Amino acid sequence: MTAEPLIFGPDFKWGVSASAYQIEGAVTEGGRGTSTWDTFCAEPGRILNGDTGAVACDHYHRYAEDVALMRDLGVDVYRFSFAWPRIQPTGQGPANPAGLDFYDRLIDELLGAGITPAPTLYHWDTPQPLEDAGGWLSRDITSRFADYASILAERFADRVPLWMTINEPMVLTLIGYAVGGHAPGKALGFEALPVAHHQLLAHGRAVQALRAGGAAEIGIATNHAPTWPAGDSPEDVEAAALYDNLINWLFADPIVLGRYPEGLGEAMPGPVAEDLEVISTPLDFFGLNHYSPTRVGAPTGNPDSAATDGLPLPEGLPFEPRPIDEYPKTDFGWPIVPEAFGEILRTLKNRYGDRLPPLYITENGCAINDGPVDGEIADQRRIDYLDGYVRELRKAMDDGIDVRGYFQWSLLDNFEWAAGYSQRFGLVHVDFESQVRTPKASYHWYRDLITKSRG
């Protein structure tokens, strides 16, 4: 039985999140350039079942239908991302008018429905020509990103109050460049660390460009989760601490504190001290994406593939993910641990104290792959997941942690990166052949939660 409804008050912002490459499709329309994800998907064996984002949810053509679904859901905010190659097909130079026009239409549709647009500038879809010129390994991309931010601010700052620079820079660094499981598919190991620094510098330069262009509230969306040592041995504890620094604090410490975790700053390129002054440009909020905790131990030479989403890890790493089998799991194999949500929120507050900006939960959700039965999708496991995590959020807020909103991932089933269309995170079921949208039971549950939470 579901417990009593929770009260978050009328000012708390409820939303849903999505990203351009995962839903838009129309990759050759409207003057859009090629992205690294277009290239990556075209390489045999990269994506499960050979799936691509070429059509995805066809949101480029069906955005009005999707905004209507959000309006009926009752959300306050829609977090989406601009497709950089749709705005600047080569990653530099003048803006593509057709690309700007598409986001004009989307933003106006959202505002007409009473929904606040909350765009992210970059959700991993680098214009391919920039990647060919060195991508995020090259310092030059930080200048290109600042120019891109200025274009967006000039066009949209009058109607968009809430901005995010980069989504989950850790994932691009570690999975895109260090491991090779995401675009651009490089396996550089620790040689990928310059990617982290350049994303951080690009973030800081974009914050300054957005603010100069009149953007009101600016933040970032980074992913954080507790790292649990696999055991009590000094080796396991040390391995978990290193992993924790790379996953959780490599990005947050420079942004919030203006310094890298111990030992990592020395690995970064460029005038690091000067760059950190830009990277730590004050934010109006800090976006937290959270899904599940990770267990890490000293290397044994036998990493468990389930603990790495099936991605191969480079040999010789000083840590090793281990499975978390004592909790139920999503259909993606991620452990469902609501208490870990509260744990990471408290860890952020304890680590940063008064320097931590107000928080938005910019992503939280789960892959539950239940399909239609007699035209209905009874995804009770998603409801149970979301109910547990939202209750942990309320507890953390009761403990004094300043959280301003919660954006569920995701409105629609969509292209789930290397997993293709095999994993469904949506409140709305998408038939990828017909593009028919069907709200799931969780959609109706979330609508009721939003209504009742206002008090």
| Alpha-carbon separation of residue 307 from 28, 172, 293, 298 (angstroms) | 36, 18, 11, 14
Considering its fold, how many domains does the chain have in total?
Answer: 1
- The pLDDT tens digits for 324-357 are 999 999 999 999 999 999 999 999 999 999 999 9
Question: HSE (CB half, 13 Å, CA atoms) of 99?
Answer: 23
Answer whether 198's CB lies under 8 Å from 136's CB: yes
Tokens (6 digits) for 400: 């004094």
Instruction: Band the pLDDT of 302: cuts 50, 70, 90.
Output: confident
What average pLDDT does the segment 251-277 reach? 97
Catalytic residue among 168, 217, 320, 343: 168
User: Coil, strand, or helix at residue 240?
Assistant: helix
416 labelled ligand-binding: yes
Residue 90 lies in a domain: yes
Is residue 326 annotated as involved in ligand binding?
Answer: no
pTM here?
A: 0.97
Question: Average pLDDT of 301-309?
Answer: 67
CA atoms of 394 and 244, how far apart (whole Å): 25
- CATH of residue 394's domain is 3.20.20.80
Query: Is 5 a domain residue?
Result: no
What dihedral angle (degrees, nearest 10) is formed by the CA atoms of 82, 85, 90, 92? -10
- The answer for residues whose C-beta is within 8 angstroms of residue 264's C-beta and 6 or more apart is 193, 245, 246, 250
435 is annotated as contributing to ligand binding: no
Instruction: State the Cα–Cα distance between residues 219 and 359, nearest whole angstrom.
Output: 9
Predicted local confidence at residue 112, as pLDDT: 98
d(CA 311, CA 243): 16
pLDDT recorded at residue 235:
97
Count Cβ atoms below 10 Å from residue 242 Cβ, excluding itself: 18
Query: What digits encode the pLDDT tens for the residues 388-406?
Result: 999 999 999 999 999 999 9
CB 364 within 8 A of CB 290: yes
User: Residue 55 belongs to what domain range?
Assistant: 13-453
Q: Which pLDDT belongs to residue 306?
A: 57
pLDDT reported for residue 177: 97
The reply to whether 217 belongs to the active site is no
**Is residue 1 domain-resident?**
no
Whether residue 184 is preceded by a cis peptide bond, meaning omega within 30 degrees of 0, is yes
311 has pLDDT over 80: no
Which residue is catalytic, options 24, 109, 320, 363? 363
291 in a labelled binding site: yes
Query: Do the domain assignments include residue 7?
Result: no
Is the per-residue pLDDT at 2 higher than 90?
no
Give SS3 for 299: coil
DSSP tag of 47: S
Quote the pLDDT of residue 312.
74
Residue 245: closest CA among 233, 126, 335, 257: 257
Grade residue 313 by pLDDT with cuts at 50, 70 and 90: confident
Task: Please report the pLDDT score of residue 44 as a whole number.
Answer: 98
Mean pLDDT (the chain, rounded): 96
- Three-state DSSP at 338 gives helix
Banded pLDDT at 304 (limits 50, 70, 90): low
Cα–Cα distance between 404 and 162 in angstroms, integer?
A: 12
Radius of gyration of the CA atoms of the chain, in A: 21
Q: What is the mean pLDDT of residues 210-238?
A: 98
Q: Does some domain include residue 393?
A: yes
In a domain? residue 4: no
* Average pLDDT, integer, range 74-92: 98
**Residue 133 falls within a domain, yes or no?**
yes
Decide if pLDDT at 307 tops 70: no
Paired with 407 in beta bridges are 15
- Which residues neighbour 107 within 8 Å (Cβ) at sequence distance 6 or greater? 117, 156, 159, 160
Is 168 noted as a catalytic residue in this protein? yes
Q: Is there a binding annotation on residue 417?
A: yes
pLDDT of residue 1: 43
- pLDDT tens profile 35-67: 999 999 999 999 999 999 999 999 999 999 999
- Residue 166: band (very low, low, confident or very high) from pLDDT cuts 50, 70, 90: very high
Predicted confidence band of residue 308 (pLDDT cuts 50, 70, 90): low
Q: Is residue 2 part of a domain?
A: no
DSSP string, 96-150: -HHHHHHHHHHHHHHHHTT-EEEEEEESS--BHHHHHTTGGGSTHHHHHHHHHHH
